[in-house]
Amino acid sequence: MNAPLPKQIWKWFERTRVGRSIFRVGLPQSNLERAQAMVSSFLLHIQPAKVNRYSLRASYSLGLGLISLYLFLILIGTGVLLMFYYVPSTDHAYNVMKDLQFVVSAGLLMRNMHRWAAHLMVIFVLLHMCRVFYTGAYKRPREFNWVLGVGLFLLTLGLSFTGYLLPWDQLAFWAITVGTNIAAYAPYIGSNLKYLLLGGNVVGQEALIRFYALHVIVLPAVAGLMIAVHLWRVRKDGGLSRPDEPGDIVQQVALSQLPTSKTYGLMELARGTTPQVGRNPEDEVFAWPHLLFRELLLFLLVVAAVLFLAIFWNAPLEEPANAIHPPNPAKAPWYFLGLQELVSYSAFWGGVVVPGVLVMALVLLPYIDRKRKGVGRWFARERAVANTIFTVCLVILVVLTIIGSLFRGPNWSWQEPWKKAPAATEGH
Amino acid sequence: MDHSTADKGVSRRGFFQLTLGWLAAIFAACASAVGAVRFLVPNVLFEPSLLFKAGKPEDYPDGSVTFLEEERVFLVRQGNTFRCLSAICTHLGCTVNRTGQGYHCPCHGSLFDDQGSVKSGPAPRSLEWFSVTLSKDSRVLVDKSQRVNPDKYLVL
Amino acid sequence: MADGSLRKFYGWFTVLGLLVGGLVVFGYYKDEDREWKDYQRKFVQEEIRRASTAQQRALAERMPVQIRQILLPDLNRVDRCTTCHLAVDDPSYGGYPQPLAYHPLHEQHPVERFGCTVCHRGQGRATTAADAHGNVPHWDEPMLPLRYIQASCGKCHESADNPGAPELARGQQVFEDSGCRGCHKLGDVGGVIGPELDKVGTRRSPEWLKNHFLAPATVTAGSAMPPQKFSEPDLEAVTLFMLSQTGETAPGYYASMKVIPSAREGQRLFQQKGCIGCHAVAGKGGTVGPALDDVGLRRSPEWMVQHFREPQAVSPGTVMPQFSFTEGEARALTEFLLHLREQKVESNLPSLMSPVERGREVFRKYGCAGCHGIDAKGGVPNPNAKTAELVPDLIRVAEGYTKDELKERILKGQREISALDPKRPPPPLYMPPWGGIINDAEADDLIAYLLSLKPGGEESGF
């Protein structure tokens, strides 16, 4: 018997009465059983039973989408735990932050994990979007999934922004003051949007409780739902994009005319588009174990990274929020600094038009760029123009963000970070 | 577990790596769960403390029974002995009143004698006595987390 | 190209599994390893060492290692200092090195009632020494250096004549004598040239305040404040007094202790409440009630305190109103009356003073000396002012002004000060309008005082 010990223990358990009552399908012994397990399990069935070898390559997708998902899960886990202590009141929130650091076991660790996972998620969702763009994976039939992705990106920013206010320190208060003021520049809806977000005209108790409600239930629920649809669409659109994809990777199928299906159960006999089988050379392997094991490894890696950051670097906490003492300059959260820099040039063009056009461009992208060439490969020659435009926009955004964070001092004046003047002395 | 076509089984090294990996991962998961539970156990309470000082011994005249409202206890002094009786009725938790030589609960009429024993009424148990000691700065120190027998008291 | 075998990942799996497991354990260990636990263990060792009976030893060994905190909802704070300062309430630890020393003021200000940060400042919620003592970034209230601790007495105790805070009293004295109020408002009384000082104790550090007294222009660019020439003890005292100005009001229980029962405090109350309206002292005053010169010989202190609390109870049919004095106020007034023979009552009661004496008080009250010098003798620099680059003294105003002209000048002020050299910046100090701040009666008394300031100090006999 050369199965590893954990497997032996497990096999013993699943033969017991209790084990059989919980797990309807035991540990698969054959490939048929492996495919069956994928399809008949609640937790696993959003993934395919078989997956193309090409999609498994780390160098192709870099696992960026999975990393984003894992970060989201870590945020939910740490977030729910933090909810047992956090009080969304302007009198209590800051003190809770201090208590987490000083008297709650693993309080600081939990808060750090939450904060770093949040920052990483913004970064990795953006990187995932770049990967999908550079591999042309937004093209037909995956247009709508790309739109869902843009929505998820905006939700990620929204989640980070609403969470940013909750510590109720100077950093939080003024970042949200700046952020909501930028939102107010939008024509017609801007000031109403700000009024609705803040529950009033100032950043105060009403704003805090609204941001809290958005942050812990509304946005996560919407994001969770959209993530589920997003993953479902990956399945239904034929898996991750590949260079050897046939042009008609999906087809309309009526219930009566199903060809030899690769499914083993009723759930895939749905009307609508479905991946075709039996018409192209297949290069697939079973998701169990090849996809699942890689996913497990990646999960461990992400958890290790977040833990490492959380153990050695602390989430910031400044003085308690004080409406009378604005820092100079007051800065939005880092992912909005590029936007704040643009706003400093022109509130309307920089704050409304440019971001609005960019978001619209992203959303409409797959419906504008209909050429099918170059899908499934990084930096395909045929897509040089599109890739160049995207890269230029990306680089400009990154540069603006760097300028906003490092090169702007009091009154948003230019300053060189290596020659930073000492902080404005207030007598301390 | 291995590739479907050439199933040669797991090598010894692979077996060892898999086992160790799974054990480590499961251990990490369990440790995280333990950590999460420990996180939820409060280390400090924001309630009135069970351990409190009730002032100087001189503040309590001989033969007095003083009701301390916030802490819901009676401080009893006889001669140079101090004792502390819980004022919470053992029936359903109302605050009892001092009457003559005993205590009476206004909610359901339980009667307790001077020692806190139940004389009549629905209360199932006698009132609790709490530990009384003298603090380092010579104050009467009551510890409601320590229940004592009525025969244990502070003697100055 | 993946060959389908997962074997190549097994090694990674082991590494990552161990890494995550290791990080979880390490993170948890690092979190459990807290500085305060070491301090508590050392304390337990000390208690065991000092234990003289087996019972004491057992008690010491059983002491739980946990965070200790004092909840102070009235003061809106939570103090965890006793997590390390474990013997603050144990007199047998008097003189021990910190953090195990007994607190000498514990009897008057029990830590269970007051906590620590209300006087010592710092960050009460913290549980590490550095964070708790507050000299860390993003905490605006570091601990007060111990030599300034009396600044905190002013938070609850009204009188600067607090016998336990002589430095605070000295500081207030220096402040009033130097005429700082001439430019700075404090508690609604004062000038408008400089900023109000009501909360300066929370906004500025001791070092900043000291430097500001010595060389204002170096800490506040463009300041018009002339450098002050304080002796070192006076400098420390007035810095301490500034630190006491926090604008915080003590709530409920703490405010009831505002008045410390001292004779000087009683005298202040006696003046404030207008007792002279009904009771005569030194032959001057009302005749509705008895004269008070010898009341200390006729009545016991207990009777007097009770009389203040409830006049009807001790003197049935009396017309003395119920004043609702706090306990401290009643005792302070009693102290004052008991020592009436020793007090120089005449010179201190406004209704018994002459106009010139009252005017001197007005001069002091509004800080005129801040610009016009101690005893109006001048000497305060006003760069580029035509008047010899000084704020003019007032000794000879009687020769240059009539009463009405003087009153006009005081009430209307003089905004434009003639410059010596038009190319240099204009003189920074000017005479603000005091109308609306100084009332009419005070103005008349002030003028009487000023007109009396002939060289040699002759009184003009108004």
Residue in chain B closest to C19 (alpha carbons) equals: B24
A156 located within any domain? yes
A171 located within any domain? yes
Of B14, B38, B137, the CB nearest to C106: B137
In order, the DSSP letters of A305-372 are: HHHHHHHHSPPP--SBP-TT---SS----GGGHHHHHHHHH-HHIIIIIHHHHHHHHHHHHHHH----
B chain contacts of residue A31, beta-carbon cutoff 8 Å: 4
A chain contacts of residue C12, beta-carbon cutoff 8 Å: 297
Strand partners, A284: A52
A358 located within any domain? no
Distance CA C94, CA C104 (A): 8
A256 located within any domain? no
Residue (of C279, C306, C284, C309) closest to C295 by Cα position = C279
Return the SS3 of C417: coil
Residue C37's Cβ-count burial label (10 Å; 0-12, 13-18, 19+) is middle
Q: How many CA atoms lie within 13 A of B151 on its CB side?
A: 0
Distance CA A277, CA A48 (A): 13
- Subunits adjacent to chain B (3 or more Cβ pairs under 8 Å): A, C
Q: Name the token pair of A37.
A: 């397990």
Q: pLDDT by residue (tens digit) across C201-230? A: 988 999 999 999 999 989 998 888 988 989
Cα–chain center distance at A416: 33
Residue C109 phi, psi (nearest 5)? -130, 75
A399 located within any domain? no
Residue to substitute from A7, A91, A102, interface C, most C β-carbons within 10 A = A102
Q: Which long-range contacts (CB under 8 A, 24 or more apart) does C375-378 make?
A: C375/C453, C376/C450, C376/C453
Give the full edge-to-edge strand order of the sheet including B111-112. B97-99, B102-104, B111-112, B118-120
Q: Do A103 and C4 touch (CB under 8 A)?
A: no
Q: Which residue type does C276 have? A: I
Interface of C with B in 61-120 (CB under 8 A): 66-67, 69, 71, 78, 80, 87, 89-92, 106-107, 110, 112
Distance CA B134, CA B154 (A): 7
At A252, is the pLDDT very low, low, confident or very high (cuts 50, 70, 90)? low
Contact C429, C371 (CB under 8 A): yes
CATH of the domain at A174: 1.20.810.10
A36 located within any domain? no
Q: B28: which DSSP letter?
A: H
Q: Do C128 and A318 touch (CB under 8 A)?
A: no
- CA distances to A164, A180, A217 from A222, in Å: 19, 21, 8
A chain contacts of residue B19, beta-carbon cutoff 8 Å: 4-6
Residue (of A219, A216, A217, A198) closest to A207 by Cα position = A198
Does the CB of B5 have a partner CB in chain A at under 8 Å? no
**Domain span holding position A103:** 55-240+287-334
Residue in chain A closest to C203 (alpha carbons) equals: A427
Residue in chain B closest to A289 (alpha carbons) equals: B1
Contact A136, A374 (CB under 8 A): yes
Residue A249 phi, psi (nearest 5)? -60, -30
Distance CA C285, CA C291 (A): 8
Worst-scoring range by mean pLDDT, A259-273, A295-309, C63-77, C373-387?
A259-273
Domains and CATH numbers, chain C: 35-133 (no CATH), 149-249 (1.10.760.10), 259-351 (1.10.760.10), 354-451 (1.10.760.10)
Contact C225, C178 (CB under 8 A): no
Q: Name the token pair of C340.
A: 């009436």
Residue (of A129, A146, A143, A135) closest to A375 by Cα position = A135
Q: What is the pLDDT along chain C (462 residues), one digit of tens a residue?
A: 334 578 888 999 999 999 999 999 999 999 999 999 999 999 999 999 999 999 889 989 999 999 999 999 989 999 999 999 999 999 999 999 999 999 999 988 999 999 999 999 999 999 999 999 999 999 999 999 999 999 998 888 766 667 788 999 899 989 988 989 889 999 888 888 889 999 999 889 999 999 999 999 899 988 889 889 899 999 999 999 999 998 887 787 787 766 677 777 788 788 888 888 888 887 777 888 888 888 877 888 888 888 888 888 888 888 888 888 888 888 888 888 887 766 555 555 666 678 888 888 889 888 898 889 888 888 888 888 888 888 888 988 888 888 898 999 999 988 888 888 889 888 888 888 888 888 888 899 999 899 888 765 444 444
Return the SS3 of B59: helix
What is the complex's ipTM, to 2 decimals? 0.86
A chain contacts of residue C13, beta-carbon cutoff 8 Å: 293, 296-297, 300
Q: Nearest-CA distance from A341 to chain B in Å?
A: 40
Contact C153, C107 (CB under 8 A): no
Q: What is the pTM of this model?
A: 0.86
At B29, is the pLDDT very low, low, confident or very high (cuts 50, 70, 90)? very high
Distance CA C115, CA C112 (A): 6
Residue (of C244, C245, C259, C248) closest to C163 by Cα position = C259
Q: Give Cβ neighbours of residue A235 (< 8 Å, ≥ 6 apart).
A: A46, A47, A48
Of C6, C19, C126, the CB nearest to A289: C6
Question: Cα–Cα–Cα angle for A152, A156, A159, nearest 5°?
Answer: 130
A270 located within any domain? no
The number of domains in chain A is 1
Q: Do C20 and B22 touch (CB under 8 A)?
A: no
Q: Nearest-CA distance from A272 to chain C in Å?
A: 32
**pLDDT surpasses 60 at A350:** yes
Residue C84 phi, psi (nearest 5)? -110, -35
C chain contacts of residue B46, beta-carbon cutoff 8 Å: 71, 78
Distance CA C143, CA A181 (A): 37
Strand partners, A12: none
Strand partners, C189: C186
Residue B38's Cβ-count burial label (10 Å; 0-12, 13-18, 19+) is middle
Distance CA C108, CA C87 (A): 16
Q: Give Cβ neighbours of residue C175 (< 8 Å, ≥ 6 apart).
A: C181, C186, C238, C241, C242
- Subunits adjacent to chain A (3 or more Cβ pairs under 8 Å): B, C
Of C13, C69, C80, the CB nearest to A297: C13
Residue (of A369, A338, A368) closest to A351 by Cα position = A338
Of C17, C87, C89, the CB nearest to B24: C17
Q: Name the token pair of C190.
A: 């004062």
Contact A67, A298 (CB under 8 A): yes
Q: Do C66 and B43 touch (CB under 8 A)?
A: yes
